[in-house]
Amino acid sequence: MSSKESYRVELRSAARQLSDRCLYSAAKWAAELLIDIEPDVHAPASSASSSAASARATPSTSSAARPLSHLHPDASAYRRRLRSAAASGDIAATPPAGVSYISTPVPDDDGFNSDGGNDRYLLAKSYFDCREYRRAAHTLRGQTGKKTGFLRCYALYLAGEKRKEEEMIELDGSLGKSDVVNSELISLERELSSLRRIGSIDSFDLYLYGLILKDKGCESLAVTVFVESVNSFPWNWSAWSELQSLCTNTDTLTKLNLKNHWMKDFFLASTYQELKMHEEALKRYECLLGVFRSSDYIQSQIATALYSLRELDEAEVIFEDLLRNDPYRVESMDIYSNLLYAKECFSALSFLAHRVFLTDKYRPESCCIIANYYSLKGQHEKSVLYFRRALKLNRKYLSAWTLMGHEYVEMKNTPAAIDAYRRAIEINPRDYRAWYGLGQTYEVMNMPFYALYYFRKSSCLQPNDSRLWVAMAQCYESAPLQMLEEAIKCYTRAANSNDSEGIALHQLAKLHGVLGHSEQAAFFYKKDLERMEAEGRQGPNMVEAMLYLARYYKSEKKFEEAEFYCTRLLDYTGPERETAKSLLRGLRIAQTAFPSMDIGHFGS
């Protein structure tokens, strides 16, 4: 695959450009990906030469893009060809089809004509690295270069953000709590918008502009700006993820006018995941894995998707692998901890918690993992304490809010639970877990009708989750409401969407029995029985099902079936056994007198 080398070149220069502009997390992302590209075993000569070129390019920033610029012409021709070829199957296109031929912007205007400019840039960047943002911006005042201009704006923005955070803490508690805004937004926006109007804005500035617009709440314009940014410089993962956070539904996603670049696949995959289209996400990631064979990022995303699809074992294997490769990884380890929590692996979870604690205890993910551990241990107070810490570190940490809500429910502190769930919904109104949690809270408070609203909301967001339908059905079924018809409808939905716990079938059978629909009841009991047999389970439900079926078949005069169930019942102990015995006796009598219907009636 010849494109692999070009990927490498692109990423290499992108990582450098990004870190020059102090966009560290994007740079980190690009660099990680660069390492993850599968080395070409049978590397053709061209790749060797270009890698040599890039090796030559390493020492100076300005020359980094040169190999790309001479790659440019033939590439666009290739793209044209591809366009006609891939026009039909665009969506299913594998990464190679989406190779971008947009050249990396040549940083020629970085304005290091005079040495003074470069020096100032160096100073400013050092200040920036020491987190003295205002000082960095001040150093760069009056500089005209693109890079310096961006750095100045970005430093100002971050300075404003920092001040905003501080003020938020200062003003906490009083009425003017969250009216704090980044005071730099207005002037920055003015500057960047005028830059955009005269057309001398580059993709990094566009990214910053998008951030500002998003903070201000002009979301549609922000989307446009982010799209412009990623179209001209696709390797800025931060821009993609901001764009992703603005795509809250598939409509917005399909309307985006994105150029076909392989980074788009990363974006689409992660957006699909966010929109709970896990299957699609998995498909894309598997394609990407063809190029970035050893990418931890892709692996972790795949594991997350698998976890969301409740494929716990597969996901666990991947997570274990990840940890083995990168023992100091903290990202997405909170998902792993959720998984371990769901599987109730005490020791593994404690091991993970210990590990991340030693790596970096002040990461929100670390706190969340520790909290999960305590929760699994049943120490809910401590768990809440660590969730709180996680939230202090990142107040937009969605799953921490929801999980903390669960803890509060366990602690019977309903007001706090409701508050936590609501905070989660504030951050992301599509979080079905939080809605579900709210419903559960109200159900605990014995308000099933009120809870229904929340369950409805949550099942609307996650229509194929049987747990939500079961919860809703239980509300309808509860003593105060007694709306059995509705409950049956919900249980049917649950049974149709792969109810792993098997509550739905049993309840369906039971409810039909209560309502006197004996035929349906028998049908569902039978199905439930089959399911339990298939899963090799035993239990009172089984006895109940068999007893009902025996009685039902007896009343239907299908004595053979009735006898079959009765004899099976004899294997169990308890009062049912006696009932089965007497039933059998009755059956014999009925069978001998079978020809005459009347006597059969008396017999029963």
Partner 1 sequence: MAGGGSLKEGGSPVFDITPHKIAVCHLVQVFALHTQPDMPFAFQSISQHHRLGLFLFSLTRSCESFLDPSLEELLNQLKALGGLAMLSEHLISNLLVLSSPDDLFNFFDKLRGVLAAPEGSSMEEEQTLLDPNSHLGIFIRCCILTFNMLPFEGVCHLLTNLVAYCNSNDSTYEMAEDDDFNGSEFHELLEDPEVYCEAAEFEEYGLENDAQAAENLTHIPSKFLSSFLEDNQASDDPRIKHGDGGSQSGGLIPLLNNNFRTDDNLGVLRSRWQIEGYLNMQADLLEKDAISFPLYSFSATLRQLQKLAPELHRARYLQYLNALYHNDYLSALDELHCYFDYSAGMEGLFSRSPSPSSEFEVGRFETALLCLGTLQCHFGHPKKALEALTEAVRIAQQNNDDSCLAYTLAAICKLLSEIGISNMTGIIGSPYSLGTTTGLGTPLSTQQQLLVLLKRSLERADHLKLTNLLAFNHLALAKFDLKHVKKPLLSFGPKASMKLRTCPTSVCRELRLSSHVLSEFGADGLLQLNDTGAFSTSWLKNLSAVGNPWLKKLQKPRSLSVNDYDTFQFYAQPNPMPGSVLQLAGASYLLRATSWEHYGSAPLVRMNALVYATCFADAASSSELSLAYVKLIQHLSVFKGYTEAFNALKLAEDKFSVSSTHIRLLKLQLLHERALHRGNLQEAQQVCDQFGVLASSVTGVHMELKTEASLRHARTLLAANQFSQAAAVASNLFCTCYKFNMQVENATVLLLLAEIHKKSGDAVLGLSYVLASLSFCKTFNLDLLEASATVTLAELWLSLGSSHAKKASSLIYQALPMILGHGGLELRARANIAVAKCLLADPSYLVSEDPDAVLDPLSQASEELQILEYHEMAAEAFYLMAIIFNSLGRLDERENSAASFKKHVIALENPQDEDNLPTHGV
Binding site for partner 1 (CB under 8 A): 167, 170-171, 173-179, 181, 185-187, 189-190, 193, 213, 216, 218, 220-221, 414-415, 418-419, 421-422, 438, 442, 445-450, 453-454, 480-482
CA separation for the pair 464, 473 (Å, rounded) = 15
In the chain, what is the straight-line distance between the N-terminal and C-terminal CA atoms, in Å? 78
* Distance of closest approach, residue 221 Cβ to partner 1, in angstroms: 5
Q: Is 163 exposed, middle or buried (0-12, 13-18, 19+ CB in 10 A)?
A: middle
* Distance of closest approach, residue 156 Cβ to partner 1, in angstroms: 15
Nearer to partner 1, 142 or 173 (CB): 173
Contact 115, 145 (CB under 8 A): no
Nearer to partner 1, 184 or 576 (CB): 184
- Whose CA is closest to 238, among 413, 530, 29? 29
Nearer to partner 1, 438 or 584 (CB): 438
Reading the block at residue 126, the tokens are: 């050092």
Contact 245, 222 (CB under 8 A): no
CA within 13 Å, CB half, 462: 24
Q: Is 508 exposed, middle or buried (0-12, 13-18, 19+ CB in 10 A)?
A: buried
CA separation for the pair 565, 587 (Å, rounded) = 12
Nearer to partner 1, 57 or 452 (CB): 452
Reading the block at residue 377, the tokens are: 């241990």
Contacts of 589 (CB under 8 A, 6+ apart): 603
* Distance of closest approach, residue 170 Cβ to partner 1, in angstroms: 4
* Distance of closest approach, residue 51 Cβ to partner 1, in angstroms: 44
Give 163-193 as a 3 state SS string.
HHHHHHHHCCCCCCCCCCCCCCHHHHHHHHH
* Distance of closest approach, residue 465 Cβ to partner 1, in angstroms: 21
Contact 400, 385 (CB under 8 A): no
- DSSP letter assigned to residue 20: H
Nearer to partner 1, 130 or 169 (CB): 169
* Distance of closest approach, residue 514 Cβ to partner 1, in angstroms: 15
Contacts of 414 (CB under 8 A, 6+ apart): 408, 441, 444, 445
Nearer to partner 1, 412 or 558 (CB): 412
- Whose CA is closest to 384, among 364, 401, 398? 401
Which segments of 213-321 are extended strands (E)?
none
The phi-psi region of residue 332 (left if phi > 0; otherwise alpha if psi is between -120 and 50; otherwise beta) is: left
* Distance of closest approach, residue 386 Cβ to partner 1, in angstroms: 22
* Distance of closest approach, residue 401 Cβ to partner 1, in angstroms: 13
Nearer to partner 1, 221 or 348 (CB): 221
* Distance of closest approach, residue 544 Cβ to partner 1, in angstroms: 26
Contact 323, 290 (CB under 8 A): no
Nearer to partner 1, 178 or 347 (CB): 178
* Distance of closest approach, residue 193 Cβ to partner 1, in angstroms: 5
Nearer to partner 1, 186 or 358 (CB): 186
Spell out a b/e string for 30-59, using b for 16 or more CB atoms within 10 Å of the CB, else e.
bbbbbebbeeeeeeeeebeebbebbeebee
Nearer to partner 1, 480 or 539 (CB): 480
Nearer to partner 1, 325 or 482 (CB): 482
* Distance of closest approach, residue 222 Cβ to partner 1, in angstroms: 10
Contact 307, 335 (CB under 8 A): yes
